[in-house]
Chains A and B, each alone.
Chain A
Amino acid sequence: MTNLINQNLISSLISDNDKVLDIGCSSGELLYFLEKTKNIQGQGIEISHVGVKESVSKGLSVIQGDADEDLINFPDSTFDIVILSDTLQATHKPKEVLEQMLRIGKKCIICIPNFGYWKYRLQILFHGVMPVAKTLSEPWYSTPNIHLCTIKDFINLCEHLNISINEAYRNTKDNIKIIKKPKSYLNNLLSTEGIFILTKK
């Protein structure tokens, strides 16, 4: 997710010179921004050839790889921060990916599209079709998003895996709000996406 709000939020959560892994870094905009503003030691993983090409051409360290397969190679606590932005829903094994992230990173920042957002619920309820929206722009037959979930689903999984959610944020129209009760009915209904800071319990 390369929109400016998330970029600034993620940036505010990162300290200078941190070692950062961005999984599914796309064309590397976020890593590039963080290298410039926070002098991070960045590493990216990206599945698409175009993304890797554009990232490396920017001078970033990015490997062509796959979140499902390649996290396993990194040693424990290699990174200060591991970022998974708008990617979990496209992995084959989201649970394993989440576990690996927390193993290799001291702190994880994760953004997921929220399938529980009211407009998506209404699309199914009234139109009887799979939701298509700005953050879920592909129709069901061509979407790379194979493991969509709601904020509540995600929090349930974290509880199941003994992961602490240190902070949660909501992206609204023009700013980011910190969420006191991320699992609340209203948060799940009103957020287009969830942003979480995770650590091991």
Chain B
Amino acid sequence: MTGDQFVTGKNPITKRKGWWDNLVGPNKILDTNKYFIICTNVLGGCMGTTGPSSINSATSKPYGMEFPIFTIKDMVNLQLELIKSLSIKKLFSVIGGSMGGMQVLEWAASYPNMLYSAIPIATSYRHSAQNIAFHEVGRQAIMNDPEWHKGNYYNQGNKPRHGLSVARMIAHITYLSEGAFQKKFGRDMQSKVLSWGFDADFQVESYLRHQGTSFVDRFDANSYLYITRAMDYFDLTNKYKGNLDHAFKKTKCKFLIVSFTSDWLFPSSESQSLVKALNKTASDVSYIEIESDKGHDSFLLEVKDFYDILSGFITGVARKLNL
């Protein structure tokens, strides 16, 4: 959700590695020597594409809450415009995890003739009640921060730092797993003595606080509200009276669906429902549940089985297309 267009190499703003740097690049699995890789910034974000923090030309002020509500489909439509402007007729593959995976599914359903293969990872065809619930807690934290000012904080000299930071802390918990937390932190302490108070005695607390505060510097609170809402509103079955398979009736591309055992945010059962729907349309589909104890974030990490499969699938698609 918070990824930007700097998928690989060094991000010029944060100076950090691109968010999928271990996967994308020369001689990597998504090999930039072989493939032309396009990664866009997201509609409604704050890293280049128009969002709530952009200036509304009608008022010469940031949009704030005046920014229209947008959907996953709007994000994809914007990507489609980019693809058209690049004169690309058909994409070799559309790949993404989490919200990116939702975009992949939207591409496959809405523009079935525009892609040869689709790789939705750690995602779902609709946001679950639990996921909406977590998003709602995050949004409430932001909107209840006195510095939020109903979204008009841009000229207030301050911003809803605390609210956004808490939202990020909650979200970060959902990206990991019980096992990952335990393995990484256990009950390890910051110092040998307890504060007998509410300081960050445990390393896990300190880690979460750091995740929260560092996020505030690079992300806009209103963007967070809008983008989480777009995910909540996503449901591919909406148009088809609950029949997911109808969404893919015209889709002829090859699918690779991947889920991870410890991902409780987008559990394997969501991917399995997707596989069933694609079987109903007799689609060409591969599905695997990868064993990983790293939770939802597994798709961003170097998990060997995941990489082997991705590499094999991409090679297979290329072979079928005689590339």
Give Cα distance in the complex from A75 to B249, angstroms.
12
B280 with A73: CB separation less than 8 A: yes
The answer on a CB contact under 8 Å between B282 and A62 is: no
Contact between A73 and B279 (Cβ–Cβ < 8 Å)? Answer: yes
A59 to B284, CA, bound (A): 12
> Which of A48-56, A81-89, A139-147, A150-158 contacts its partner?
A48-56
Q: Specify which of B284, B286, B308, B317 lies most central, judged by the most chain A CB atoms within 10 Å of its CB.
A: B286
User: Beyond A49-B291, A73-B276, A74-B280, is A59–B319 a contact (Cβ under 8 Å)?
Assistant: yes
Closest to A43 in B: B284
Say yes or no: B284 contacts A61, CB within 8 Å: yes
B149: min CB distance to chain A, Å: 50
Q: Which residues of A contact B139 (CB under 8 A)?
A: none
- Say whether B275 contacts A41, CB under 8 Å: no
Are A58 and B316 neighbours in the complex by a CB distance under 8 Å?
Answer: yes
Q: Mark A28-49, 1 if CB is under 8 A from B, else 0.
A: 0000000000000101000001
Pick the contact of B286: A61, A73, A74, A75 (CB < 8 A): A61
B289 within 8 A of A: yes
Q: Does B315 contact A (CB under 8 A)?
A: yes
Bound complex: CA of A74 vs CA of B282, how far in Å? 6
Whether A53 and B284, one on each chain, are in contact in the complex, defined by CB atoms closer than 8 angstroms, is no
Chain A, residue nearest B284 (CB): A61
Task: Say whether B164 faces chain A, with CB atoms less than 8 Å apart.
Answer: no
Chain A interface extent, by class? 20 to 34
State the Cβ distance, A64 to closest chain B Cβ, in Å.
Answer: 5
How many angstroms between the C-alpha atoms of A49 and B311 in the bound complex? 17
Query: Does A65 sit at the interface, judged by CB under 8 A?
Result: yes
The residues of B that contact A75 with a CB separation of less than 8 Å are 280-282
Contact B280 A49 (CB under 8 A): no
Instruction: Kindly state whether residue A23 has any CB partner on chain B within 8 Å.
Output: no
Whether A197 is near chain B, meaning CB under 8 Å from some CB there, is no
CB distance from B46 to the nearest CB of A (A): 37
B256 within 8 A of A: yes
- A59 x B288 contact (CB < 8 A): no
Q: How far is the CA of A60 from the CA of B256 in the complex (A)?
A: 10
Give A53 to B305 CA distance when docked, in angstroms.
Answer: 7
**In the docked arrangement, what's the CA distance between A75 and B245, Å?**
11
- Given known pairs A56-B312, A57-B312, A73-B280, the reply for A62 and B286 (CB within 8 Å) is yes
Residue B288 contacts which of A41, A43, A64, A73 (CB distance < 8 angstroms)? A64
Contact check, B309 vs A74: say whether CB atoms are below 8 A apart.
no
A57 CB contact (under 8 Å) in B280, B281, B287, B309: B309
Check A65–B275 contact: CB distance below 8 A.
Answer: yes
- Write out, one digit per residue, whether chain B residues 302-322 have a CB within 8 A of any chain A CB (1) or not (0): 000100110111011101000
Cα A60 to Cα B309 with chains together (Å): 10
Q: B132 at the A/B interface (Cβ < 8 Å)?
A: no
B237 CB, nearest partner CB in chain A, Å? 16
Do residues B291 and A61 form an inter-chain contact, with CB atoms below 8 A? no
Residues of A within 8 A of B282 (CB): 74-75, 78
Cβ contacts under 8 Å, A109 to chain B: none
Per-residue contact bits, chain A 149-179, to B (CB 8 Å; 1 contact, 0 not): 0000000000000000000000000000000
Apart from A59-B319, A63-B287, what 12 extra A-B contacts exist at CB < 8 Å? A49-B288, A52-B287, A56-B309, A59-B316, A60-B286, A61-B254, A61-B285, A63-B275, A73-B279, A75-B280, A75-B281, A75-B282
- Residue pairs across A and B with Cβ atoms less than 8 A apart, 6 shown, are A49-B291, A53-B288, A58-B312, A74-B282, A75-B280, A75-B281
